[in-house]
């Protein structure tokens, strides 16, 4: 049920994102969501794409440094308190969050969040035991409208 | 007791007897140089296997040296010769005549070792006296010697010179800036010896502490061990009201005191009766035209423990053809702004790019692409090492990358003894020329 996320190293200077976006465009790989972490000196672009292997190859061909990591997509209620609820469950399960970000789309009053856990398999098992809906890649791709 | 105004003006001193050779008529200076060259070439040839072999290869013997101009018949000596003959292979005197050794600041690999007989120490102290005299210093001066004491030649060189001048020497060594400022004030210091960048740091700290150097008796700074500029001199002089003087030296030749600016502050006089200068084309080794820029090559005419024949300093300069307004006959070189090899000097420390490489590889064996950027901010040298990120070390976690940066910075500091910023950059962004990266970008204004 885990997903592959691609990460890219970016220097903090103008025009850096364009190259990566261009590479994915040429390969016909769609970006489902993304998040950018930046520090004073560098940035890390994190992407969930329609075909991560193809995306990784395309980015590497453009001389990008790419890392593929396992993340979990969790469904949460799209209402006030929805985030607090899932974070409460995660905390009760004793799971550490490295970082998280959101999808732009959801369904039936539900939103989808991406979580990077240290031990993703263990975390998914614990969360499923608490009836949290963990979304797989196929489902996610359909949700995004099959783009 | 002299009053502040006369101390500031540097009056009350006079001619120091040690400075006599500075004023020798040209013919007499050349005679002295010839006489000394003959003696030192014999010393080198008779006692050092390397020199004998090199001279034999060139078909030269000490008997071929008839005048100082014959220096060009001699083989060149390089820094690598010192390393290859580590530790004592170039010593020309028996150990019971050698009273002191010093060694380079190189912290990786083998340092370069230099040696002195008692006579050599006197030559050195004497040269430092002549340097101090050039700056208008004299007996009665109180010298704060903030050069590092130890294997580095700076500390002890200035110390012995100061004592021989008849001045009072405070052997405070480097570091502990607050204490430096306190001592400077409380001990009525009139001259300070340190690197120019460290003195700027002292000035900035003094301002923070509410101490105005203008109000102190301090009047001269003896600044060396790293390249610096006219604009830096202007800054120092404006901020402190002292005269900032350049000093030149290198341990292979003797240490500080090979050359010094006079009060005209227009080039550095070389004490050429002991250290004979040539300017050569750094590529070919051929002599340059008078006044032309090239690499400074020095021959020690007096040093018995470890003579240096035509030592390639890698310092780029020229010899001024005109005589100086101060009346000294000994020639001047332009202040050193750059070097012909890839070594650079930052905050008084000699750094080779290979040391940076070693430090980086010690952390992560898969990060071969790096570049060193040297910059100067508010007069202080800064070093940044840019390292290309590779897939092996890249992580999607900010924490992991920052951890890597810190580890690299620590390794650099451990290896070089100075702090360097580490910046991770994207792959293939460091310029490569003919497959080889340009390792050092020096943006300091020279």
Cβ of B11: how many Cβ atoms within 10 Å? 12
Helices B230-240 and B196-208, packing angle to 10 deg: 30
The predicted model gives B319-330 an average pLDDT of 94
Per-chain mean pLDDT for chain B: 89
Q: How far apart are CA B383 and CA B385, in angstroms?
A: 7
Q: How far is CA B313 from the centre of its chain?
A: 10
CATH number 3.40.50.300 is the correct assignment for the domain at A3-69: no
Using a CB-CB cut-off of 8 Å, the residues of chain B touching A46 are 396
Let me know: does A27 contact A54? Beta carbons within 8 Å. Answer: yes
Here the CATH number for the domain that contains residue B363 is 3.30.300.30
Asked if A65 and B401 come within 8 Å (Cβ–Cβ), the reply is: no
Alpha-carbon distance B359 to nearest alpha carbon in chain A (angstroms): 21
pLDDT the model gives residue B100: 98
Q: Are strands A31-38 and A42-49 parallel, antiparallel or unpaired?
A: antiparallel
Q: pLDDT band for B228, please (50, 70, 90 cuts).
A: confident
Select from B341, B370, B390 the last residue of a domain: B341
Q: Testing the interface with B: which of A3, A6, A7, A9 to mutate, by most B Cβ within 10 A?
A: A9
Q: Which residue of B has its CA nearest to A99?
A: B397
**Which residues make beta-bridge pairs with A107?**
A110
Q: Are residues B276 and B412 located together in one domain of the fold? A: no
Q: How far apart are CA B185 and CA B190, in angstroms?
A: 10
- What percent of chain A lies above the pLDDT cut of 90? 56
Alpha-carbon distance A46 to nearest alpha carbon in chain B (angstroms): 7
Domain boundaries in chain A? 3-69, 71-143
Using a CB-CB cut-off of 8 Å, the residues of chain B touching A60 are 391
Q: Are residues B155 and B286 located together in one domain of the fold? A: yes
Q: pLDDT band for B365, please (50, 70, 90 cuts).
A: low
The predicted model gives A24-51 an average pLDDT of 91
Let me know: does A26 contact B443? Beta carbons within 8 Å. Answer: no
* Tens-digit pLDDT profile for residues B172-203: 998 888 999 999 999 999 999 998 878 987 98
Q: Which of B402, B423, B426 sits opposite A9 (nearest CB)?
A: B426
Q: Are residues B154 and B117 located together in one domain of the fold? A: yes
Q: Are residues B172 and B245 located together in one domain of the fold? A: yes
Kindly provide the residue ranges of all beta strands, DSSP E only, lying in B311-429, ordered along the sequence.
Answer: 311-317, 332-333, 338-339, 344-346, 349-351, 370-377, 380-388, 421-425
Q: Are residues B32 and B164 located together in one domain of the fold? A: yes
Q: Are residues B376 and B254 located together in one domain of the fold? A: no
Select from B341, B375, B390 the last residue of a domain: B341
pLDDT the model gives residue B367: 62
Select from B297, B322, B341 the last residue of a domain: B341
> Cα separations (Å) of B209 from B103, B134, B184, B204, B253?
36, 32, 13, 9, 40
Residue B11 has pLDDT above 60, yes or no: no
Q: Is A135 helix (H, G, I), strand (E, B) or coil?
A: strand
Alpha-carbon distance B409 to nearest alpha carbon in chain A (angstroms): 14
Q: Are residues B431 and B315 located together in one domain of the fold? A: no
Q: Which of A11, A16, A67 sits opposite B396 (nearest CB)?
A: A67
Burial of A42 per CB tally in 10 Å (0-12, 13-18, 19+) = buried
Q: How far apart are CA B381 and CA B373, in angstroms?
A: 10
* Tens-digit pLDDT profile for residues A76-126: 988 999 999 999 999 999 999 999 999 877 777 888 999 999 899 999 999
Put residue B241 in one of left, alpha, beta given phi > 0 → left and psi -120 to 50 → alpha.
Answer: left
> Cα separations (Å) of B384 from B300, B310, B374, B432, B439?
37, 35, 6, 18, 12
Residues 24-43 (A) with a CB less than 8 A from some CB of B: 37, 39, 41-42
Q: Which of B391, B398, B425 sits opposite A11 (nearest CB)?
A: B425
Q: Which residue of B has its CA nearest to A69?
A: B396
CATH number 3.30.2130.10 is the correct assignment for the domain at A71-143: yes
Q: How far apart are CA B68 and CA B30, in angstroms?
A: 7
Asked if A66 and B391 come within 8 Å (Cβ–Cβ), the reply is: yes
A vs B, Cβ pairs < 8 A, gives: 53
Q: Are residues B239 and B366 located together in one domain of the fold? A: no
pLDDT the model gives residue B416: 84
Q: Which of A39, A46, A60 sits opposite B396 (nearest CB)?
A: A46
The predicted model gives B282-304 an average pLDDT of 94
Alpha-carbon distance B386 to nearest alpha carbon in chain A (angstroms): 11
Determine the structural domain holding residue B122 and report its residue range.
4-341
Asked if B397 and A98 come within 8 Å (Cβ–Cβ), the reply is: yes
Burial of B76 per CB tally in 10 Å (0-12, 13-18, 19+) = middle
Alpha-carbon distance B390 to nearest alpha carbon in chain A (angstroms): 6
Using a CB-CB cut-off of 8 Å, the residues of chain B touching A34 are none
Q: Are residues B73 and B43 located together in one domain of the fold? A: yes
In the Cβ-directed half-sphere of A127, how many Cα atoms lie within 13 Å? 29
Asked if A7 and B396 come within 8 Å (Cβ–Cβ), the reply is: yes
Does the bond joining B25 to the residue before it have cis omega, within 30 degrees of 0? no
- The DSSP output letter for B286 is P
The better pLDDT of the pair B431, B300 is held by: B300
Q: Testing the interface with B: which of A16, A42, A68 to mutate, by most B Cβ within 10 A?
A: A42
Q: Is B270 helix (H, G, I), strand (E, B) or coil?
A: strand
Structure tokens at B375: 């910059």
Residue B434 has pLDDT above 50, yes or no: no
Residue B444 has pLDDT above 90, yes or no: no
Let me know: does B334 contact B265? Beta carbons within 8 Å. Answer: no
Using a CB-CB cut-off of 8 Å, the residues of chain B touching A59 are none
Residue B105 has pLDDT above 90, yes or no: no
Q: pLDDT band for B357, please (50, 70, 90 cuts).
A: confident
> Cα separations (Å) of B370 from A67, B78, B222, B431?
21, 27, 35, 10
In the block, tokens 């969360």 appear at A127
Residue B329: phi and psi, rounded to 5, are -90, -25
Q: Are residues B191 and B215 located together in one domain of the fold? A: yes
Among the listed residues B165, B344, B313, B208, the one whose alpha carbon sits nearest the alpha carbon of residue B251:
B313
Kindly provide the residue ranges of all beta strands, DSSP E only, lying in B133-241, ordered along the sequence.
Answer: 142-145, 168-170, 191-194, 220-223
Domain count, chain B: 2
pLDDT the model gives residue B7: 53
**Which residues make beta-bridge pairs with B261?**
B268
Tell me if A3-69 shares its fold with A71-143: yes
Alpha-carbon distance A109 to nearest alpha carbon in chain B (angstroms): 30
Structure tokens at A50: 């329609």
Q: How far apart are CA B282 and CA B294, in angstroms?
A: 6
Q: Which of B390, B395, B426 sits opposite A11 (nearest CB)?
A: B426
Q: Any CB–CB contact under 8 A between A17 and chain B? A: no
Exposure letters B131-147 (e unless 16+ CB within 10 A, then b): bbbbbbbbeebbbbbbb
Alpha-carbon distance B72 to nearest alpha carbon in chain A (angstroms): 53
Torsion of CA A69, A70, A75, A78, to 10 degrees: -20
Structure tokens at A15: 């025009």
Here the CATH number for the domain that contains residue B41 is 3.40.50.12780
Structure tokens at B355: 């040391």
Q: Which of A39, A64, A67 sits opposite B395 (nearest CB)?
A: A67
* Tens-digit pLDDT profile for residues B239-272: 999 999 999 999 999 999 999 999 999 999 999 9
């Amino acid at each position: 049920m885990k997903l592959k996320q691609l990460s890219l190293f970016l220097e903090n200077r103008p025009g850096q994102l364009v190259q990566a976006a261009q590479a994915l465009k040429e390969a016909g790989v769609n970006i489902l969501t993304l998040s950018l972490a930046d520090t004073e000196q560098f940035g890390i672009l994190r992407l969930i794409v329609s075909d991560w292997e193809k995306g990784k190859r395309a980015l590497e061909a453009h001389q990008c440094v790419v890392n593929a990591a396992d993340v979990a997509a969790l469904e949460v209620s799209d209402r006030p308190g929805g985030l607090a609820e899932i974070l409460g469950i995660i905390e009760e399960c004793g799971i550490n969050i490295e970082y998280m970000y959101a999808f732009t789309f959801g369904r039936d009053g539900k939103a989808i969040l991406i979580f990077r856990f240290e031990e993703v398999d263990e975390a998914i098992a614990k969360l499923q035991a608490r009836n949290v809906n963990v979304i797989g890649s196929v489902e996610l791709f359909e949700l995004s409208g099959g783009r | 007791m002299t009053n502040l105004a006369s101390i500031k003006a540097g009056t009350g001193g006079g001619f120091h007897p040690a400075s006599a050779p500075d004023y020798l008529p040209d013919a007499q200076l050349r005679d002295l140089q010839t006489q000394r060259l003959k003696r030192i070439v014999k010393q080198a040839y008779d006692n050092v296997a390397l020199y004998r072999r090199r001279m034999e290869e060139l078909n030269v013997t000490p008997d071929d040296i008839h005048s100082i101009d014959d220096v060009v018949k001699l083989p060149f000596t390089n820094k690598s010769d010192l390393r290859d003959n580590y530790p004592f292979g170039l010593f020309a005197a028996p150990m019971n005549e050698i009273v002191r050794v010093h060694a380079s600041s190189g912290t990786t690999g083998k340092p370069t070792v230099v040696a002195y007989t008692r006579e050599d120490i006197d030559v050195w102290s004497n040269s430092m006296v002549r340097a101090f005299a050039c700056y208008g210093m004299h007996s009665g001066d109180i010298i704060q010697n903030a050069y590092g004491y130890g294997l580095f030649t700076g500390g002890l060189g200035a110390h012995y010179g100061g004592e021989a001048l008849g001045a009072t020497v405070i052997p405070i060594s480097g570091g502990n800036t607050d204490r430096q400022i306190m001592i400077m004030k409380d001990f009525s210091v009139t001259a300070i010896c340190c690197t120019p960048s460290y003195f700027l740091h002292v000035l900035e700290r003094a301002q923070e502490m509410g101490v105005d150097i203008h109000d102190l008796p301090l009047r001269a700074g003896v600044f060396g061990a790293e390249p610096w500029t006219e604009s830096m001199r202007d800054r120092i002089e404006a901020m402190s009201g002292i005269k900032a003087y350049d000093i030149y030296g290198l341990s292979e030749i003797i240490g500080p005191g090979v050359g010094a600016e006079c009060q005209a502050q227009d080039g550095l006089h070389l004490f050429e009766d002991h250290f004979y200068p040539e300017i050569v084309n750094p590529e070919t080794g051929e002599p340059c035209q008078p006044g032309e820029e090239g690499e400074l090559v020095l021959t020690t005419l007096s040093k018995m423990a470890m003579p240096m024949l035509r030592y390639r300093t890698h310092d780029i300069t020229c010899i001024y053809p005109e005589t100086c307004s101060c009346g000294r006959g000994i020639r001047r070189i332009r202040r050193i702004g750059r070097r012909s090899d890839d070594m650079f000097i930052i905050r008084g420390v000699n750094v080779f790019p290979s040391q940076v490489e070693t430090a980086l590889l010690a952390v992560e064996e898969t990060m071969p692409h790096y570049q060193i950027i040297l910059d100067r901010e508010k007069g202080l040298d800064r070093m940044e090492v840019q390292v290309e990120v590779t897939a092996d070390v890249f992580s999607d976690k900010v924490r992991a990358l920052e951890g890597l940066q810190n580890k690299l910075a620590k390794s650099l500091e451990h290896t070089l003894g100075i702090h360097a910023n580490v910046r991770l950059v994207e792959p293939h962004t460091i310029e490569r020329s003919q497959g080889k990266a340009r390792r050092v970008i020096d943006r300091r204004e020279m």
